[in-house]
Amino acid sequence: MSLSSKVLSGTIWASFDKFGTVLLQFSVNLVLARLLTPSDYGCIGMLAIFLVVSQVLVDGGFGSALIQKKEPTQADYSTIFFWNLFFACFLYGTLFLLSPWIASYFKMPLLSDVLKVLGIILIINSLGIIQNNRLRKQLAFKKISLVNISSFFIASLVGIYLAYRGWGVWSLVAMQLTNALVNANMLWLVTRWHPSCIFSFGTLRELFKFGGYLLASNILQEICKNLQGLIIGRKFSSTEMGLYSQAKKLDDVACLTLPNVIMQVMFPLFSQLQNDLKQMKNTLDMSIQIISFVTFPLIAILILVAHPMICFLYGNKWEGAIPYFQILCVGGLFACLQNVNYYAVAALGKSKPLFRWSFYKWGMLFVLLLSGMHWGIHGILWGMVISSLNIYVVNALLVSKCCHYPFVEQLKRLFPIFCLSFLVAVFVQLFNRWIFLPFGVNIVIYITIYMMIAWRMRIEAWKNCSVLFKILRKIND
């Protein structure tokens, strides 16, 4: 299979994986949100920073280094497998010992037991990291998608059953553990790869030259991305934390689903194109146009219909999440484009500048969050929005320097899509004041007008989406 065919196939299956998983998660979340309380979600949200950062440490940046390396050996894979397993056990032991102090920080004794059980996920996940990376290296996204969707489906049945039986927060814990366990087992069955009894410190040092900087950058990124949860969980109630967590979860679905799908495929592709900067620039340009063309209007319409949509989907007890969600959506305009720029630079092996600039990006977020605390949760969230803009600008400037894709040129691609998205939203809002319509009808009207204008104006992103759609139809035929 040619590289272009692999990329198209990978895009289809990565899309199926991400959109299928997101649709399943969204559906399950609708059920669980009516069975559980915001406080239950708040408990899990408070622990997110510890688990996410620990998971990044377990991977150690070596997963991306193995994908970026042209021809990794069995010794490379085996070495990283045993390192991941060892470090996961070490981190779990650390979290186990620290759990009473973490619970004391949030003034919730229950969190100690929850963290001790939930932390086992680190060990389980470490067993499947190499298998997952091997499949990504091969662009075998069909297998990855089937594993991810199947494992989450089984886990969701467990979570819903336990929530219905009144297990509260423990139903969420059990669901995550089941998902990790089934996923790891299925990856072993699908890849049929087993580690050899090999451990090379030379391999560890070699991969750390690339992965080490990426690791440090990713740790800073995850700490700062979850820092607001640490602040909200400490200063406000678990209910407020739960409302924020639900708003953030819904925002991530809207703003990050498509970019994450594209980046699953594009990072291995960028790595293969690292010696052809012209082709890499063209591929990056098309990715940015497609992401913005789909995500910008989605964000605009969700801000518009947030109130009736959240009350209809989750119930009135989640009404407090509406303003949080709308603010987060504004930040999503910039967040959706951060990673595509970031990983384009990473694929060139430029992990050192990414690491250096991460201090500025995440230091700025820290300052903005602390400043925003004076205005409560809303101030914290607006600080996140400003930080999201700042991170996008830094990543885009790095792309401008490393990939010869000028920042101004990128803005020219985005400006007409941004204007169209929000002008149509304003029109629909004004029309809705004249004739009140259900939020579902407003969404249909918005999409129809947006697509018609994009087609009539011959926006380049529309052409790229049309070309991609025709190619996918030919593949299906």
Per-position DSSP letters for 420-444, written without gaps between them: HHHHHHHHHHHHHHHS---HHHHHH
Nearest residue to 5 via CA among 191, 269, 258: 269
CB 340 within 8 A of CB 291: yes
pLDDT score of 117: 96
Q: How many residues does the chain have?
A: 477
pLDDT score of 476: 44
Of 144-153, 253-262, 334-343, the one with minimum mean pLDDT is 253-262
Q: Hey, where are the domains in the chain?
A: 1-224, 236-477
- Residue 266: pLDDT band (50, 70, 90) is low
Element (H, E) at 3: helix 3-35
Q: How far apart are CA 75 and CA 79, in angstroms?
A: 6
Quick one: average pLDDT of 407-426?
A: 90
Nearest residue to 152 via CA among 19, 318, 310: 19
Quick one: average pLDDT of 228-252?
A: 87
Burial 190-228 (b: 16+ CB within 10 A, else e): bbeeebeeebeeebbeebbebbbbbbbbbbbbbbbbbbb
Quick one: average pLDDT of 228-256?
A: 86
- More confidently predicted of 358 and 421: 421
pLDDT score of 402: 81
Question: In Å, what is the CA distance from 294 to each residue of 308, 392, 459?
Answer: 22, 18, 13
Q: Is the pLDDT of residue 472 over 50?
A: no
Half-sphere exposure of 436 (CA within 13 A, CB side): 1
Q: What integer best gives the mean pLDDT of the chain?
A: 84
pLDDT score of 154: 96
- More confidently predicted of 59 and 298: 298
The DSSP code sequence of 134-167 is HHHHTT-HHHHHHHHHHHHHHHHHHHHHHHHTT-
User: Which residues lie below 8 Å from residue 463, measured CB to CB, with a gap of 6+?
Assistant: none
Q: How far apart are CA 67 and CA 396, in angstroms?
A: 23
CB 26 within 8 A of CB 155: no
Q: How far apart are CA 157 and CA 425, in angstroms?
A: 38
pLDDT score of 12: 65
Half-sphere exposure of 90 (CA within 13 A, CB side): 8
pLDDT score of 55: 86
Q: How far apart are CA 352 and CA 300, in angstroms?
A: 36
Nearest residue to 122 via CA among 100, 92, 95, 151: 92
Q: How far apart are CA 431 and CA 124, in angstroms?
A: 52
Quick one: average pLDDT of 421-432?
A: 86
CB 42 within 8 A of CB 212: no
CB 384 within 8 A of CB 239: no
Nearest residue to 124 via CA among 160, 155, 84: 84
